[in-house]
A = this chain, B = another copy of it.
Amino acid sequence: MLKKGELVSFRPDIRVVDCTVRDGGLVNNFFFTDEFVKDLYNANIKSGIDYMEFGYKASKDQFDESKFGKWKFCNDDDIRAIVGDNDTGLKISVMADVGRTDFRNDIIDKANSPIDMVRVATYINTIPSALEMVEYCHKKGYETTINIMAVSKSNDIDLDDALELIGRSCVDTIYIVDSYGSLYPEQMRRLAEKYLNIADKYNKHIGIHAHNNQQLAFANTIETLTMGVSYLDSTVSSLGRGAGNCPTELLLGFLKNPKYHISPLLTFIEKHIVKLREEGLVWGYDIPYLLTGRLNQHPRDAIQFTKEHRTDYKAFYHFLYDKEC
């Protein structure tokens, strides 16, 4: 097995990418207060986080602006209202879904934007479109990533072909994404080995975006990190769609680089996360997500089940199981 670094040292190539507003926005339609986002921005700076993803660059043709909070669209001006000139060590990231972004209109020259990195989320069958977006963003001056979603549904040959294609592009970082939270550490390590081989060949970084359906988001993140994966997605207190993500506070507890500090995040959690839960926002590991994760299914049925406050887990399991047949 590949191994980089030991438990007592640290790897300077590690980058922690805070996705709290972006993935958490899928829980509350991006209706975060400015105070939440501003406090998170400041907590991230103090905690030594490397990137903060503010949300999506979603197409305003396709999505009604009145139905979502501003971080679904991430206008440069809205970001600037939070970060000013962002004269800090924290870089700014946005996500752009293939087919759901007017990138030629909405992504301007990096020189005039507070954004540092554009992450392109794609399924394996839309890689050519993803590459077109990456080329465009790269020329505009941005760092870029390609995040291949739902990789647990792809077959090995398609994935090998896709990684070769991406390897030859100008993209900086390629992400392993466990969209359904269905992958065990053993499988994650096999995937990481595959991605890291491409990274070595084409001089790329590899990232991981894990979901917590089977309480494995943190484990999968640190297991692949020790192999050489270096871009680590996490969210404060797991805030994110369905079972949520790798919790930043757990991840910072593992990382040994003295630049990372957990205290500012704990203060943020006290002030904001406790309140979100009290207000009734629900996310994080629970039985319905374990069941969709185990069956390698999209979490949408589990999200609906949870929203309806149902607890008839056995019936739900058999409903999901029957869908597979």
Which residues on A are within 8 Å of B, measured CB to CB?
1, 7, 184-187, 212, 214-220, 222-223, 226, 237, 247, 249-250, 253-254, 262-263, 266-267, 269-270, 274, 285, 287, 290, 294, 311-314, 317-318
Given contacts A214-B250, A249-B290, A250-B214, contact A222 B7 (CB under 8 A): no
Q: Which 7 A-B pairs have the closest CB atoms?
A: A219-B219, A266-B314, A266-B313, A253-B294, A274-B311, A267-B314, A215-B218
The answer to whether A185 touches B219, judged by C-beta atoms less than 8 angstroms apart, is yes
Q: With a CB–CB cut-off of 8 A, which chain B residues contact A270?
A: 311-314
The answer to whether A262 touches B186, judged by C-beta atoms less than 8 angstroms apart, is no
Q: With a CB–CB cut-off of 8 A, which chain B residues contact A266?
A: 287, 313-314, 317
A271's nearest neighbour on chain B, judged by CB, is: B311
A264's nearest neighbour on chain B, judged by CB, is: B314
Q: Return A73 CB to nearest CB of chain B, in Å.
A: 32
Q: In the complex, what distance in Å separates the CA atom of A216 from the CA atom of B226?
A: 16
The answer to whether A215 touches B250, judged by C-beta atoms less than 8 angstroms apart, is yes
Q: In the complex, what distance in Å separates the CA atom of A263 from the CA atom of B222?
A: 31
The answer to whether B314 touches A263, judged by C-beta atoms less than 8 angstroms apart, is yes
The answer to whether A7 touches B290, judged by C-beta atoms less than 8 angstroms apart, is no
The answer to whether B250 touches A290, judged by C-beta atoms less than 8 angstroms apart, is yes
Q: With a CB–CB cut-off of 8 A, which chain B residues contact A312?
A: 270
Q: In the complex, what distance in Å separates the CA atom of A29 from the CA atom of B273?
A: 31
The answer to whether A186 touches B226, judged by C-beta atoms less than 8 angstroms apart, is yes
Q: Return A299 CB to nearest CB of chain B, in Å.
A: 15
Q: In the complex, what distance in Å separates the CA atom of A263 from the CA atom of B67?
A: 39
Q: Return A186 CB to nearest CB of chain B, in Å.
A: 6
A214's nearest neighbour on chain B, judged by CB, is: B250
Q: Return A96 CB to nearest CB of chain B, in Å.
A: 30
Q: In the complex, what distance in Å separates the CA atom of A269 from the CA atom of B290?
A: 14
The answer to whether B249 touches A287, judged by C-beta atoms less than 8 angstroms apart, is yes
Q: In the complex, what distance in Å separates the CA atom of A294 from the CA atom of B186?
A: 24
The answer to whether B219 touches A216, judged by C-beta atoms less than 8 angstroms apart, is yes
Q: With a CB–CB cut-off of 8 A, which chain B residues contact A311?
A: 269-270, 274
Residue from A187, A253, A254 whose CB has the most chain B CB atoms within 10 Å: A253
5 new A-B contacts, CB < 8 A, other than A7-B184, A263-B314, are: A184-B222, A215-B247, A216-B219, A247-B290, A267-B313
- Subset of 29 A-B contacts with CB under 8 Å: A1-B1, A7-B187, A184-B222, A185-B223, A186-B226, A214-B253, A215-B217, A215-B219, A215-B247, A215-B285, A216-B218, A216-B219, A218-B219, A219-B219, A219-B220, A237-B287, A249-B290, A253-B290, A253-B294, A263-B314, A263-B318, A266-B287, A267-B314, A269-B311, A269-B313, A270-B311, A270-B313, A270-B314, A274-B311
